[in-house]
């Protein structure tokens, strides 16, 4: 059994695979825990699921110990992974004082594995001018490194041609700092402050020609719950990142 979500990606719960319709070579494989969370969200599409339900059905049922913090971390990772396929959509909605739900405004079509992939007639949203879209294999490698850094398992990327949207956050000198997923406007000031504090605290090489920074912040930090932060500096050559240096903060 598989699902077509938002006419943008195919999801197979049995093995945790995500892929664009008709492009199996660009698949991404979720970790077991991330897959269990997404499976629950898809199964109850459009219904708010309580945090306790996630902890019970995702962790307790497998003999594992979960927490609100670990749930927040996996939700954050899922959001960023899903954004690889359709950054114009908000897939997972936070329901205050309850938990999370899969956006009811997105279509979810259940299919058998034998079904032919349907033709998608709806046009994809036009990329906003402020976004820059590159075919950078290194960005997918960076997302994989983030998963390793968070101790969440690995993200398997089978193709170097998957498109990843990056969004400008601020600049260090003439070097841009990008985020890998949209941040609410209310979070920008704090995110910029965090990025500058990290650059002042560590000895990352200075801004040089063809240098860019990528910044990853767990959403839980903006809710005062603490979390993890990743800042990566990359040097580009001929449109590709050739060297990268990453600074991790496991507790911020």
Per-residue model confidence (pLDDT) at position 200: 81
Angle between helix 68-85 and 32-43 (nearest 10): 80
3-state SS assignment for residue 85: helix
Average pLDDT of the chain is: 77
Q: Which pLDDT band holds residue 131 (cuts at 50, 70, 90)?
A: very low
Could you tell me which residues come within 8 angstroms of residue 183 by beta carbon, excluding any fewer than 6 positions away?
A: 167, 169, 191, 217
Pairing status of strand 229-237 against strand 240-249: antiparallel
Q: Which of 100, 61, 60, 97 is nearest to 77 (CA)?
A: 100
Indicate whether 163 pLDDT > 70: no
Per-residue model confidence (pLDDT) at position 210: 87
Q: pLDDT, tens digit, for every residue of 172-202?
A: 888 999 887 778 888 888 889 988 888 887 7
Q: pLDDT, tens digit, for every residue of 96-118?
A: 889 999 999 899 999 876 554 44
Angle between helix 137-149 and 68-85 (nearest 10): 170
Q: pLDDT, tens digit, for every residue of 195-217?
A: 888 888 776 666 788 888 888 88
Q: Where are the domains of the chain?
A: 2-111, 162-249
Per-residue model confidence (pLDDT) at position 203: 67
Per-residue model confidence (pLDDT) at position 181: 72
What's the full length of the chain, in residues?
Answer: 252
Q: Which of 22, 157, 186, 169 is nearest to 84 (CA)?
A: 157
Per-residue model confidence (pLDDT) at position 94: 92
Could you tell me which residues come within 8 angstroms of residue 65 by beta carbon, excluding any fewer than 6 positions away?
A: 59
Could you tell me which residues come within 8 angstroms of residue 69 by beta carbon, excluding any fewer than 6 positions away?
A: 220, 225, 226, 227
Per-residue model confidence (pLDDT) at position 140: 53
Q: What is the mean pLDDT of residues 217-232?
A: 79
Q: pLDDT, tens digit, for every residue of 49-100?
A: 999 999 999 999 988 888 998 899 899 989 988 988 888 889 999 998 899 9
Locate the DSSP E strands across the chain. Answer: 2-5, 9-12, 17-19, 28-29, 49-50, 92-95, 99-102, 108-111, 132-134, 156-157, 164-172, 175-179, 211-217, 229-237, 240-249
Per-residue model confidence (pLDDT) at position 214: 85
Q: Which pLDDT band holds residue 12 (cuts at 50, 70, 90)?
A: very high
Q: pLDDT, tens digit, for every residue of 15-45?
A: 999 998 888 777 888 888 999 999 999 999 9
Place of tokens 């979500």: 5
**Beta carbons of 121 and 21 less than 8 angstroms apart:** no
Adjacency order of strands within the sheet including 175-179: 132-134, 164-172, 175-179, 211-217, 229-237, 240-249
% of the chain with per-residue pLDDT over 90: 29
Q: What is the pTM of this model?
A: 0.49
**Beta carbons of 35 and 17 less than 8 angstroms apart:** no
Q: Which of 3-12, 193-202, 213-222, 223-232 has the lowest mean pLDDT?
A: 223-232
Per-residue model confidence (pLDDT) at position 217: 83
Per-residue model confidence (pLDDT) at position 136: 42
Per-residue model confidence (pLDDT) at position 250: 66
The CATH number assigned to the domain with range 2-111 reads: 1.10.10.10
Q: Tell me how crowded residue 88 is: count the other CB atoms within 10 A of its CB.
A: 15
Per-residue model confidence (pLDDT) at position 149: 46
Cα(178)–Cα(153) distance, integer angstroms: 24
Exposure string of 31-48, with b = 16+ CB inside 10 Å and e = fewer, is: bebbbbbbbbbeeebeeb
């Amino acid at each position: 059994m598989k699902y077509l979500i938002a006419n943008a990606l195919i999801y197979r719960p049995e093995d945790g695979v995500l892929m664009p319709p008709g492009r199996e070579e660009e698949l991404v494989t979720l970790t077991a825990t991330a897959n269990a969370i997404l499976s629950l969200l898809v199964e109850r599409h459009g219904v708010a699921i309580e945090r306790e339900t996630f902890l019970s059905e995702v962790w307790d049922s497998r003999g594992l110990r979960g927490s609100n913090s670990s749930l927040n971390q996996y939700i954050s990772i899922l959001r960023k992974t899903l954004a690889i396929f359709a950054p114009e959509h908000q897939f997972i909605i936070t329901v205050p004082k309850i938990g999370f739900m899969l956006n009811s405004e997105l279509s979810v079509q259940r299919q058998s594995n034998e079904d032919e992939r349907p033709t998608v007639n709806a046009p994809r949203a036009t990329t906003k001018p402020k976004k820059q879209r590159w075919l950078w294999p290194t960005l997918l490698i960076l997302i994989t490194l983030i998963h390793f850094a968070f101790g969440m398992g690995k993200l398997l990327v089978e193709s170097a041609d998957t498109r990843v949207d990056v969004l400008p956050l601020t600049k260090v000198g003439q070097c841009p700092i990008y985020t890998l997923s949209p941040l609410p406007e209310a979070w920008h000031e704090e995110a910029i402050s965090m990025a500058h504090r990290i650059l002042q605290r560590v000895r990352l090489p200075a801004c040089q020609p063809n240098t860019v920074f990528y910044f990853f912040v767990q959403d839980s930090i903006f809710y005062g719950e603490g979390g993890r932060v990743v800042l990566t500096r990359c040097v580009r050559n001929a449109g590709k990142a050739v060297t990268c240096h990453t600074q991790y903060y496991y507790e911020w």
